Structure 1
Amino acid sequence: MHIARAARSTLIRLGAVALASTLLAACGSGSTGGQQSDGKVTLSIDLFGTFGFEEAGLYKEYEKLHPNITIKQTDTEQEQNYWKSLQTRLAGGGGLADVQGVEIGRITSVAQLQSDKFEDLNQYGAGKLKKNFTAAKWGAATTKDGAVIGLGTDNGPGAMCYRTDLLKKAGLPTDREVLAQRWSTWQGYLDLGKQYKKSAPGKSAWIDSVRSIYTNVAGQSEERYYDTSGKLIWETSPTVKEAWDLSVEAAEAGLSGSLDQWSPSWNQAFAAGSFATLPCPAWMLGYIKGQAGKAGEGKWDVAKMPGRAGNWGGSYLAIPKMSQHKKEAYDLVQWLTAPEQQAKLFQRIGNFPSSVPAIEKVADTKDPYFSGAPIGEIFGSAAEQAPVQILGVNDQDVQEQIAKALFEVERKGTSSSTAWNNVKKGVQNALG
């Protein structure tokens, strides 16, 4: 999941509910799950954004297979809020769930700095599952001494989602193959956006936010914030510069709807047709369906993304040492991340597998909601070509500061140089 994913009417819990759940959990000690006198076990799982397990009916399937297990999920809107809460609970040792989600941008930090807070899943037999996962997915959750602190859920190979009705009204092509050629580069994508702006229907924007451009361009290279030696290089990274410059150009050209991603106004924009295109990792498909609703079916399509293949998002499931039901938690984590369940998630929700056998299972998947787009082929090809990114302990912190500064550029008209200086200050404050 994934880099931060936000509130969605059908896909996540309301923020107030999530906050209440977190506060209630913090009042206790250890796991929020429990074992009843009749031998039944309640497993708690604490997540952020769209993992899709509940929406795809997987919890119900698991409970049917294991009548003694009841699964209770809590969900937080913003990943950064979830992460802050998790850090507080890890430090205090109380209020932790039996299973905790970890975003891909945090997994290196957990593996290098907090592995003592989580179970080594090897002791439950996780080692035999290594062949099921891509090398990058498995390796990121493995410590230097070989401990495995999480099993991977999805990956986030990227494509471009677009509104065929809006493009048609603007006099632009709607065929996914033609568009893929027109925006084979990010510059080509911006140029097509400038053409769209001239006759945009209903004052719609070309893209929701320039943050979408930055995140996806930055996800198309092996190095962005760290180099292979583990050195922080974001200030001189060619990838960061390219992503920044393209995002600033889009903002200055007025191509962005200046929407705050994951906000209520952003959610409403999907149904209102407020923007024509959206760089979308696979997990975004379910989000779009949830926000655009039945009325959006057949109006959306999916094409290959501009530039190189990239990745945005993907998460892990980990078991805190404070869990009261470690073995039962591991059985659930193993089942949820197994090839069969990962394939179901993609077919039902859109979350693309990190499991090699599951990727093979979904190769021929098409999505009628997205005009019959061959999403198995499109995302499968992107996943195959995507670089294995170098992740560092502060990846997410750097990315959040850059996103914050770009929001100032598109919303307030802040100059690129001033915004970049703000990034430097923000990263310095965040990293200490």
Structure 2
Amino acid sequence: MPLARAARTAVAVVLGGALLAACGSGPSSSDGAGGKVTLTVDLFGSFGYQEAGLYAEYEKLHPGVRIKQTDTEDEQDYWKSLQTRLAGGGGLADVQAVEVGRIASVTQQQADKFEDLKKYGADGLKNQFAEAKWSAATTKDGRVVGLGTDVGPEAMCYRTDLLREAGLPTDRDVLARKWATWDGYLALGKQYKAKAPAKSAWLDSVGSLFTIMIGQEKERYYDASGALVYEDNPAVKAAWDASVRAAGDGLSAKLDQWSPQWNQAFSSGSFATLPCPAWMLGYIKGQAGEAGKGKWDIAKLPGGAGNWGGSYLTVPRAAKHKKEAYQLIQWLTAPEQQAKLFRKQGNFPSATGAIAAVADATDPYFSGAPIGKIFGEAAKAAPVQVLGVHDKNVADQITNALSEVERKGTSSEEAWSHAKKGVENATG
């Protein structure tokens, strides 16, 4: 969370609640209001901490601590704002989230802007996380700049009512067999289009199709040496070509992800399927609301397992309450809290101890889908991805170009040239 993730501008949510006496020592510094500390947490998308009740639980366990969250819908907007504040040194929260596609930029170029969490005892947490998750937030000289929240194992979310109306099967196992490959998925999309309900497309956007497909690859935009290789990577070309084909066949609703129109489409039925990392479950619930309960289901992803997204919580050097901020992120990313978050919101754990604990999880909102099994198997099979300094920037430029293909009818060749120019500008 990611990704993830509903106004596009930051909305402050003050999370109060009764501060009940409990175990644990009080904070070491205060805001001067009766010894209370207000910890500021700045996120993007839908991390789900508030919705799962974790902030309220933490406040009860730590009398004198209050948590104030700000949340920006679009990660690109969030990152631009964070870069401005890091450059100026002001306006930073005690806790700042970083998307996995940005973490290499932090470790390689901005580590001096963030606290080394080892000074607060983070070394003792290493065995709690998957090796790839931990190492991605560790600099070459051994500094730890963030603690992992979730990972993004991928599946396919779909609307059973819309598929039924189009005469297609709705059983998750049957669909998994029919769309075992991406060619099978797109062929089924053509069948859906022929009998689809009015104003309903097969998928939300070809950008999301590209993103989920490329998430199945170990090497995408960079190789292990840190060199940009996206132009010559056959996996990038295959995902691009499939996305262009989907646009040409009219299978997309042409909705830019995270836009207001996309948000509204969750309740209007504008698309029948949505390539779906685990963290997307909470987002769907938030946008579709109670009216969507039981209309959605989840099946295995075409083409094998992959990963899209996952995030980190960091403490900036300019944070006001560094020690208390670390104590909060340590608690939020602990296995017990990660397991609770998955059961309530769908964010799949990066803490190894939590993965076994959620293996039997099901979700009534998604027609009782065995989310622990589906996403657990995907997480085990997903490749450990090579992350580059500008990983997210490259991905954004490519999906922006694909948006031109589906919305403006731009040719594949011209759109690819725009993507390359955008990458050149973004990577310097």
TM-score normalized by structure 1?
Answer: 0.94
Q: Distance in 1 between matches of 2:320 and 2:195?
A: 60
Q: Distance in 1 between matches of 2:215 and 2:291?
A: 31
Match of 1:251 among 247, 252, 255: 247
* Contact residue 34 and residue 43 of structure 1 kept, 8 A: no
Match of 2:335 among 313, 334, 339: 339
Q: Distance in 2 between matches of 1:308 and 1:346?
A: 22
Shift of residue 168, structure 1, vs aligned partner: 1.1
Q: Distance in 2 between matches of 1:56 and 1:163?
A: 24
Match of 1:407 among 403, 409, 421: 403
Match of 2:98 among 92, 99, 102: 102
> What does residue range 6-155 of structure 1 map to in structure 2 within 5 Å?
6=5, 8=6, 14-18=7-11, 35-155=31-151
Q: Distance in 1 between matches of 2:57 and 2:36?
A: 17
Q: Decide whether aligned partners of structure 1 residues 335 and 15 sit closer, same or farther in structure 2, where only a CA change above 3 A counts.
A: same
Task: Give the aligned residue type for 1:94.
Answer: G
Is residue 263 from structure 1 mapped to residue 287 from structure 2 by the alignment? no
> What does residue range 263-282 of structure 1 map to in structure 2 within 5 Å?
263-282=259-278
Is residue 384 from structure 1 mapped to residue 396 from structure 2 by the alignment? no
How many positions carry a matched residue from both structures?
414
SS in 2 for 1:201: coil
Shift of residue 128, structure 1, vs aligned partner: 1.1
Task: Give the aligned residue type for 1:118.
Answer: F
Q: Residue 26 of structure 2 corresponds to which residue in structure 1? A: none
Q: Decide whether aligned partners of structure 1 residues 80 and 20 sit closer, same or farther in structure 2, where only a CA change above 3 A counts.
A: farther
Q: Residue 2 of structure 1 corresponds to which residue in structure 2? A: 2
* Contact residue 103 and residue 316 of structure 1 kept, 8 A: yes
Is residue 419 from structure 1 mapped to residue 415 from structure 2 by the alignment? yes
Q: Distance in 2 between matches of 1:203 and 1:401?
A: 28
Q: Residue 24 of structure 1 corresponds to which residue in structure 2? A: none
Task: Give the aligned residue type for 1:414.
Answer: T
* Contact residue 56 and residue 345 of structure 1 kept, 8 A: yes
SS in 2 for 1:425: helix
Task: Render the CA deviation track for 1:253-305: whole Å, top value 9, x for unaligned.
Answer: 00001112111111111111111100100111111111111111111100000
> What does residue range 133-212 of structure 1 map to in structure 2 within 5 Å?
133-212=129-208
Q: Distance in 2 between matches of 1:191 and 1:345?
A: 36
Q: Distance in 2 between matches of 1:43 and 1:296?
A: 34
Shift of residue 89, structure 1, vs aligned partner: 1.0
SS in 2 for 1:373: coil
Q: Decide whether aligned partners of structure 1 residues 424 and 151 sit closer, same or farther in structure 2, where only a CA change above 3 A counts.
A: same
* Contact residue 13 and residue 70 of structure 2 kept, 8 A: no
Q: Distance in 2 between matches of 1:398 and 1:16?
A: 23
Q: Distance in 2 between matches of 1:332 and 1:20?
A: 17
Task: Render the CA deviation track for 1:221-254: whole Å, top value 9, x for unaligned.
Answer: 1000011111110111111111101100000000
Percentage of pairs with the same residue: 69
Is residue 307 from structure 1 mapped to residue 311 from structure 2 by the alignment? no
Q: Distance in 1 between matches of 2:413 and 2:419?
A: 10
Task: Give the aligned residue type for 2:99.
Answer: E
Q: Residue 239 of structure 1 corresponds to which residue in structure 2? A: 235
Q: Residue 430 of structure 1 corresponds to which residue in structure 2? A: 426
* Contact residue 105 and residue 395 of structure 1 kept, 8 A: yes
Q: Decide whether aligned partners of structure 1 residues 20 and 414 sit closer, same or farther in structure 2, where only a CA change above 3 A counts.
A: farther
Q: Distance in 1 between matches of 2:290 and 2:318?
A: 43
* Contact residue 34 and residue 324 of structure 1 kept, 8 A: no
Task: Give the aligned residue type for 1:222.
Answer: K
Moved more, 33-42 or 255-264: 33-42
Q: Distance in 1 between matches of 2:9 and 2:299?
A: 36
TM-score normalized by structure 2?
Answer: 0.95
Q: CA RMSD in A?
A: 1.5
Task: Give the aligned residue type for 1:100.
Answer: Q
Q: Distance in 2 between matches of 1:34 and 1:78?
A: 32
* Contact residue 204 and residue 273 of structure 2 kept, 8 A: yes
Shift of residue 18, structure 1, vs aligned partner: 3.6
* Contact residue 13 and residue 69 of structure 2 kept, 8 A: no
Q: Distance in 1 between matches of 2:279 and 2:408?
A: 30
Shift of residue 37, structure 1, vs aligned partner: 4.8
Task: Give the aligned residue type for 1:320.
Answer: P
Match of 1:218 among 214, 218, 236: 214
Q: Which aligned runs of 4 or more in structure 1 are off by greater than 2 angstroms?
A: 14-21
Moved more, 410-419 or 287-296: 287-296
Task: Give the aligned residue type for 1:2.
Answer: P
* Contact residue 133 and residue 355 of structure 1 kept, 8 A: yes
Q: Residue 312 of structure 2 corresponds to which residue in structure 1? A: 316
Task: Give the aligned residue type for 1:362.
Answer: V
SS in 1 for 2:237: helix
Task: Render the CA deviation track for 1:32-71: whole Å, top value 9, x for unaligned.
Answer: x962253211111111111111111111100000011111
* Contact residue 12 and residue 69 of structure 2 kept, 8 A: no
Q: Residue 24 of structure 2 corresponds to which residue in structure 1? A: none
* Contact residue 159 and residue 303 of structure 1 kept, 8 A: yes
Q: Residue 356 of structure 1 corresponds to which residue in structure 2? A: 352
